[in-house]
Each structure stands twice: as C-alpha cells, then as structure tokens.
Chain A
Amino acid sequence: MKADVPAVKVAHVGVTFGTRVALNDVDLRVDPGEFVALTGPNGSGKTTLLRTLLGFQEPDEGTVELFGSSVESLSVRERARRVAWVPQSEPQRDDVPLVQYVLYGRYPFHGPLDRDTERDREVAMRILEEVGLADRASDGILSISGGERQRAILARALAQETPLLLLDEPTTHLDIGHQLDLLSRVRTLAREGRVTVIAALHDLNLAARYADRIVVLSRGRRVADGGPREVLSEDLLARVWGVDADLAVDTRSGLPYLLPRRLVVENPPASGSLALGPVHVVGGGGAAAPLLRLLVDEGLRVTAGALHLLDTDAETAESLGVVAAVEGPFAPLSPETRARHRVLLGEAKAIVVAPFAVGPSNLANLEDLRAFVSRTPTIVIDAPADRSLDFTGGAATAAREALRAAGATFVADSTAALRAVQSVLSPPTRGPGTVGAPPQG
C-alpha cells in the first residue's frame, strides 16, 4: 500500500431512502493510520456512511474507494480483507467457545475445503491476548459479560487482519469503564500503525479524547472536519445538536470537553421526521434508561413513570428532558404520583414497559397500566431469561401475564420495542425503517 493512497476516499456521495436524503454530497478522505470519529445526531447519516464504506449500501451518487479500488468492484471476500466491522451489538444464540468465535473472522482466508490452520489459531490467540480475553478463550460466548462481549466482537473483526476497521457506536451498551477500555485499545492499534479506524460515536467527549480527527455529519452533510480542538465548539453544538453546552479544556490533556446544559429546542426532531408521540415508558431502577435514550434519539416525544427520585431511570429522564411522574426515593408510590402517572399514560400514543424489577413499592406501576392496554398499543420488553424481576412473591409476574392477556405485545429487547413503537406511530406509507439505516433483511 503506497503512502499516498488514501485508506478511504469518498467523493460526492449521496444516498436517498424513498424521500429521505440520508447522505448529501459527502466527501471524505481518510489516510492510513488515522483514527477518525464520525459523529452527529441520530439520523445524521453516520451509519449510512459506514454502510456505504462496507458496500452494504450502494450510493445513488458519487464514488467510494478503499485503498484505491472502488468498493463496488471488490467481491464480498475481497472487501472483507480490506475492511472489518464492529457493530453496536451482535445477536448471539449459540454458545460457541470464544476462540472459535474469533476464528469466524478468518473466513476470508479460507476456501470451502480448508480447515482452520495453525496460523489461524495463533492469530486468534494473539488477538484475544490483545483484547484481554486470552484466559477466557475456551469459555462460551454467552457466559461472558457485556463488556467482554464487545471486546470479543472487536477481536472477531481484528482476526480479519484488515487495514481498515469500522466501528458503529461500539460503546453504546457499555458502562464508562468499558467504554474507555475499548476505545483505548482501538487507539493503540491505530497508533501502532496497524489499522485505520473510523468509528461512529455518539459521545463527543469520547470522540475528542480518542480520535485524531472528528467528522461531524448533520442531516446527511459533512458540516465539520478537523482535530478535536478545531471542531468542537459551543456554536457547533447548538447548531447541530440543538444543545446549549459549555466548552471547557481539560487541563491535563489539553483536550476540549463539553458540559451539556439544556436543550435549545425541545427534543430536536431527527431529520425528516416530525416529533411523533408521546411514547410513555414504564420503568425503574435503570432498566428503562437505554430505551429512553433510544426513543429520544429517534426524535420521538417521550414521557416516563412512575420513577423514584435518584434512581438511574429518573436521572436519565431528567437529563433527556423527558417528562416523568416521580416519587420520593424508595417510597411506595403515593396516590398523587399514581394519578400523575395515569395522566401520562392516558396521553400516550404508545406505551413501552421496560424489563424493570418490581417490588412492593412499585407494583402499582403494573396495576395502573392494565386499564390502558386495551386502549393504547402496549409493548412489553421480555424479562431476561436468566433472572427474575419479581420481588413481590408472584404478584408482579401475574400482573405481567395479565398485560399479555389484555393484548400487550411482548418483544425481546429495546431495539425490537423501538421498531414496534415506530410501526404503531408512523402512518403505513412511511415505513418504519430506522432513521439512518435502511430496513435490514
């Protein structure tokens, strides 16, 4: 690979889904060894741009080149030897040993009759070592934690030994410690000159901390591109995210960081969609936080309840500007709070029930819900199979079953819930495709 051949060259790329413009005349050049963070609000085109680079999405206009060859001209296998992909999460059904899972990444090196070679195993073990999972190599992938799972996905992608690595919101499901851990591992790889990295990242502070360069997309256009110090500004935040934020400089690293204060516009709608809703989320104890974020990010109007002050869900709701019925910490739900909650339930166009732990203090949440199930489309996220959420000695389980009997839809996770909400809210002509990503098969 000659040094002057860019790893990625995107020229005048446009992508349209129906009437929605996902990417509009985007140019991007990434040189080998760079760590570029791709950022922007939801629906700004980050995922679509990544999918275009992977060849999943053919651009309607413009050209995409990887290391000097057009993506379209490469076979699926050739592509897989140039660019690897780390998705937000992966469905895992089969409990395969970690090392075997990483060996899946060696696929592009094999013909149909080949077995895994000694070298494949060496590569897999070295990479597991690098992501800190060597001692878990023979454990089943379903038995490791979420943070470890994400590192395993990274390892699977690295096993492709590609010069380019794309990450799509790799830290979304991770806590802060695992976020830092994952991104610093990726940065190390880039610093060592082994891979060029393009990562879609929501979190601007993470982007500023780890990336050499930040590219900001807004409504399908590239609106800013440069080092963290040049790109991040209060003005940009207000313009692109609709957020009023203070910009400060970290004295230790000299890097800028942002302290969001409040929304300039309430729930800025994702491009092309009006704020639909309200969608009411019933949760507690942090079980609803990811869902709240997901729904708000999709530009929906969201309400929540009945939550306890100081718990993660209540704090998340507050930070997202979500109206919520809130009770004092650890107290049983009072008649007043329940009444406020019922008002929110009554206004909702759709109701989503998070997989929250139910004890005597919040059992009323499920009971109050019952009257609304027949009137309002209600989506219940299934409890995780491996632990019970019922701390009421069976009353909560019975209440959940009553919801099922009353016609509530049960889904597996937040993403499925979002899809269900979208299909409830959007008129049939619009199609419920996730903003920024075409419907997947």
Chain B
Amino acid sequence: MLMTARERLAREIKALAEKHGHARAALIPIVQEIKHKYRKVDDFAMQVIADQLGIHPVEVYSVVSFYAFLGSQASGKFIIRLCRTISCDMQGKERVMRQMENDLGIKFGETTSDGKFSLEWANCMGMCDQGPAMLVNEKIYTHVTPEKVHEILEECRRSFGVHATEQKEVYLV
C-alpha cells in the first residue's frame, strides 16, 4: 500500500520524538530535523509535533516563528544568507549583495524561478574578523568577494546536478 506524504511525515516525526524524547525540550531538535529535510515546517507537521510532545500546536508555531532559521519561508534548494551586521557591512557586503542579485536575477527575500536559490539576510554569524560572511545552507563562506560569488554559485549548481540524478525513493508500507 502506498503511503500518503502526510502519513510518512507523521511516522517520521514519531520516530524523531522517540529519538529525542517526548518532553518539551525535544521541540527544537525535532523542528530542526524536519526543517532540514523538508526546508519547511508546515501546519500538519507542527500539529503532529505538538501531539507527540503533549503541547499545543500554537506553541510550536510560536517557537518556529521566533527563530529566523526555523520560520523562514525561503524555499530554494540553496538558501544563501548573507550577514548584514556592522563588520561585514564595513568589509563590503554591499558589493557581494549586488553581485549575487545580478547573478541570480532576484532580490533578497526572493527565490529563483527554478527553485534553486533563495536569498536572505542574516545577522551576525560570529565571523566578524573574516567578513563578509555568508551561509549557503549549513556551509559557511568567509572573505566573500564579488569574484568568489560566481564560484560559489557554480559550485552549488554542480552539486545540485548530483542531487537531481539521485534515484527517487518509493515509500512502501
């Protein structure tokens, strides 16, 4: 029997709750894993998580909306977050930003039409001595220059090709 996406998600969350425990403290690790895998935490996932932890869905929503990385709506395969705080600003984040917007043809806060890239602002990443700093998904890049931007984007595109040819999973019960 084929499972619906919802059933699969619910089962996954249940497994995560087993792994992290059913206490309130397990909320963030579970949400992080779901966010990592699906790049979003949707209504249904929040309600299942709440159910598993014995809390209310609105509390999950509250936490998700509090943390920028959890609540972000960016849906691209690669979420690029450029630091906008003062040291990176003084070290030329403005030029990096322009280069990236030109290369991708989108503004910050948007996602490319092919769904590959999202641009977002971030605040300090603790790399103030090596600015401008930038995150691509979980990978950090420092001393970013407009020249490097092209390289980084190309690297992303290449690695995306690998993902694209990966065999599609079929979920069976």
- Are A and B bound to each other? no
List A residues at the B interface (Cβ < 8 Å): none
Interface, chain B (partner A; CB < 8 A): none
